[in-house]
Structure 1
């Protein structure tokens, strides 16, 4: 069974998750709209941009008319303004979904959890966050679950959460660990600044794979319960060497200079930068391994979309204007496939 009215509204289409999800929906035959403060400057093949802001409820409600899904992939840039902006933006999306009858698709994070308590998480794992960002994320999901309840004045809004690890991809933003640490956009790789401890596993998610997964779930959203959660395993780097090795191969570095992120300096720098202050709170997720269990997702879709790591890393670096060496014939074939 598939969705009959294949119209989607994407909030955050100029970002990583929103952009890749919009592109995947277009590939799968959806009519895709997106909001932008300046539609004349927004460009994404097959997407119609409308003037508006996620903080403007009337604009969001108007843009969602006739849509069957709303992708809520919008966040304050650089983690700035999370406390005051994130929940009001979600409330606007809930109002738009209630008016249009659309299902909300929300990218979930691992920040809802205590990584020291749960090395592996599935959809039933208790959410207990110790960071400001994690607590807000828990509140977001609670609002969606409440809105999906069968009774109540504000009930009846369907939603879907797809949770994944840290994002990387050609559309990586400054919010991502990949673009703010492992490589420097626009510059050759000389030093790889890795946030995690040596030998510690970490979960990554390639943005085009996330977009494709969202699109496949959107195709079958009528088969889902009113409130649904799925976990995306993505790239499990068991000891922190897989990502570093793939970057080194793409940059043709035989002995990459790998340094650990200077966590001790972030609290001091955070006194002058809200972005760095929020990043410093994420330290526990680089001191404890946390892996996502994806059995529920695979059971529903049949598989989890997965791009070979070397192909994904090369595409990510090229998207960030980081020089890479010529790909081998096997990698070129994999990319074409």
Structure 2
């Protein structure tokens, strides 16, 4: 009898880590998670083997990875603090653990790596010339992963646009800037300009795609990169309309994001500084070419946008109680 495969998830309480763990668990994988707060993690993923430790401590990561077949590196520095001082050392610890155990590394990629020369349709082979500080760090992280692949480590990168979903964190644009969590939708704020397209990735679909790719490990090379297209809207107004319909608020006003205010206070507020740095991703269309992924899997997992937003908005506390009680929002109607 073949032993169950084991995946170590770093960042299992985050949106991507959680959904990847769920998708792998459905396929019979044993899930192991490393956290400084394992008691909190057990409430989210009770089936996982939770280990107390810190991704910043190399020994903790290597010990947690013993006998693991896969290490999902979905951990990020909290908030926007000290990315270079935290993100790079954590990744180095994961690479060292993979070298010691033979596990493949799975790394969620972002569009931050690219500059305007690669827009509007991003392919896996496009040059990465970022124009932001965080983008440069992300490129350096992927460079280290590629170098490790030349040293015997197997790497899988799956890149996507902006995440949203029922377990997304406060860093999600949907919850941090577009609608207000914890109350019914009264208005929708759009960060992008009218007529500019944007790519969104529904986290359960993304986790499912990762799990399917991992299942084809024997067919993958030592370093593989795939792009996940997700939900593409050629105009941000289309996304706003879908939010309003899903929230049962078709007449809610759609407002522009206060970029002028964000930029004015960016020298003094770290969050505003980070948001202002990413504004260029909302000024031009940024879409991901998923032809390689579809060729590998046959299709990309894709939940209809209305169903995806219903689940997400309900988890955020943004659907009116009366409507939920009446059964007005039924996924079968989507």
TM-score range normalised by the length of the shorter chain: over 0.9
Alpha-carbon distance in structure 2 between the residues aligned to 1:101 and 1:116: 36
Unaligned runs of 5+ in 1: 150-154
- Whether the aligned pair in 2 keeps the contact of 1:7 and 1:30 (CA below 8 Å) is yes
- 1:235 maps onto 2:231 in alignment: yes
Q: Deviations over 1:102-124 (max 9, x none)?
A: 00000000011113652111111
Matched with 1:91 is: 92
Q: CA deviation at 1:269?
A: 2.9
Matched with 2:279 is: 283
Normalising to structure 2: TM-score of the pair?
A: 0.94
How many pairs does the alignment contain?
328
Q: Deviations over 1:59-108 (max 9, x none)?
A: 10000000010000000122222121111010000011111100000000
Matched with 1:28 is: 27
Name the SS of the counterpart of 1:162 in structure 2: strand
Matched with 1:152 is: none
- Whether the aligned pair in 1 keeps the contact of 2:4 and 2:28 (CA below 8 Å) is no
Task: Please show how residues 90-109 of structure 1 align to structure 2 within 5 Å.
Answer: 90-109=91-110
Alpha carbons of 1:99 and 1:127: their partners in 2 closer, same or farther (altered >3 Å)?
A: same
Task: Calculate the aligned-residue CA RMSD, in Å.
Answer: 1.8
Matched with 1:207 is: 203
Matched with 1:189 is: 185
Matched with 1:135 is: 136
Matched with 1:113 is: 114
Find the partner of 1:179 among 162, 175, 180. Answer: 175
Q: CA deviation at 1:194?
A: 0.9
Alpha-carbon distance in structure 1 between the residues aligned to 2:125 and 2:327: 42
Task: Please show how residues 140-151 of structure 1 align to structure 2 within 5 Å.
Answer: 140-149=141-150
Task: Please show how residues 247-286 of structure 1 align to structure 2 within 5 Å.
Answer: 247-286=243-282
Alpha-carbon distance in structure 1 between the residues aligned to 2:3 and 2:156: 18
Alpha-carbon distance in structure 2 between the residues aligned to 1:10 and 1:212: 15
- 1:222 maps onto 2:223 in alignment: no
Unaligned runs of 5+ in 2: none
Alpha-carbon distance in structure 2 between the residues aligned to 1:221 and 1:95: 20
Alpha carbons of 1:334 and 1:108: their partners in 2 closer, same or farther (altered >3 Å)?
A: farther
Matched with 1:303 is: 299
Matched with 2:12 is: 13
Alpha carbons of 1:321 and 1:120: their partners in 2 closer, same or farther (altered >3 Å)?
A: same
- Whether the aligned pair in 1 keeps the contact of 2:241 and 2:250 (CA below 8 Å) is no
Show structure 1 runs of 4+ deviating over 3 A.
324-331
- Whether the aligned pair in 2 keeps the contact of 1:77 and 1:175 (CA below 8 Å) is no
- 1:51 maps onto 2:52 in alignment: yes
Alpha-carbon distance in structure 1 between the residues aligned to 2:72 and 2:333: 29
Alpha-carbon distance in structure 2 between the residues aligned to 1:161 and 1:4: 26
Q: Deviations over 1:20-61 (max 9, x none)?
A: 111111111100000111212222142121101111111100
Alpha-carbon distance in structure 2 between the residues aligned to 1:65 and 1:5: 14
- Whether the aligned pair in 1 keeps the contact of 2:188 and 2:252 (CA below 8 Å) is yes
